[in-house]
Chains A and B, each alone.
Chain A
Amino acid sequence: MIAQLGFAADIPKDSRQSSYQLMTTENQAMQDDPNLNPALFWVMDGHSLWKEKTGNKNVSCGSCHGDSGKKMAGVATQFPKVIKGRLQTLEGQINQCRSAQQEAPVLAYESKELLALTTFVATQSKGMPITIQETLQNKKDLQQGRLFFNERMGQLNLSCAQCHQDRAGLKLGGSLIPQGHPTAYPIYRIEWQTMGSLQRRLRNCMSGVRAKQFEYGSTEMAQLELYLMWRARGMPLETPGVRP
């Protein structure tokens, strides 16, 4: 019997639900209708940045990957991914390309540029299923991510699983607790009134239980992201999403 860590049982595949289902009709309409979804501005900004020549090498993302961005279909659904021995998030990979291929400075997390580029790349996979599987390469990181998810943290001494697995669908302070699948990131979060990454949202959760937040771009973040994406495997990507 797993006593100490108390791994919550995985939610059965059929009863997995995107938080889209928990939103009001107005918010769902906001996500679905390109006229109403403010995130479309970031997609446009991202496309402009994609085509912009930059860095010492003076090349654009489009120079290698095609100006339309369509070649990026199926990419976001594979991240986080182990590349050259390192677990990389989508943002991390964009920065990796920037510094290595473009010789341009990396973009800070939550900066307008990084959000725009990440949204642009991720939305090319809209509607496609998340394809993360456990592999020999990512096994250790996935295991660590799963540990983080089930581990109690913070002054409130709560684990992610206690709310988002055991109590998903119940209410916390008037809001329905979602299962917490990262199917729509980056999102336009109504509370932030702007676009934000999954890592920003995870930091919110951690501050919610009064825990020390993982740093942006850290290995811990990537491992937790990996576990969450694996947990959501098979679910379609909704990027760019709107969330309350």
Chain B
Amino acid sequence: MSKTSRTGITAPANAKKDAIIEIRAIAQHDMETGFRYTEDGKRIPRDIIRLFTCRYNDEEVFKADFYPGIGANPLIIFTTIAVASGTIECKWTGDDGYEAVNQVKITVS
């Protein structure tokens, strides 16, 4: 599994102050469970994203631990309060040195 991959964040570009907004974050990743075997009976080692964090203007607002039970190309949808204009940054880290970071800007009026 490569060390990084494509990710996507969907969040509104504009929001009213203190409105609750929805953020969708998805990463391209096989999430190899570690329970599959090759044709010759060898176990394919586990290789998954372990941690997802979301920082809003550099303050952590949401976090999730992923286990092998999360589906491939993991999607997570959560909410946060639009407190101020700035940057919403999502970071994924996982096995084998995997790391991916993505950001979106938001304007709060």
- Chain A residues at the B interface, C-beta cutoff of 8 Å: 35-36, 38, 40-41, 44-45, 193-194
Contact = CB atoms under 8 A, between A and B. Distances in A.
Contacts of A194: 30, 72
B44 interface: no
A193 B26 contact: no
B68 interface: no
Interface of B: 5-6, 8, 10, 24, 26, 28, 30-31, 71-73, 75
Nearest to A35: B10
Contact of A35 (B8, B28, B71, B73): B8
A44 B6 contact: yes
A193 B10 contact: no
Contacts of B75: 36, 38
Contacts of B28: 38, 41
A41 B30 CA distance: 12
A35 B30 contact: no
9 contacts: A35-B8, A35-B24, A36-B24, A38-B26, A38-B28, A41-B5, A41-B73, A45-B6, A193-B31
A35 B6 contact: no
Closest 9 pairs (CB-CB, A-B): A38-B73, A193-B72, A41-B28, A35-B10, A41-B6, A35-B24, A44-B6, A36-B75, A35-B8
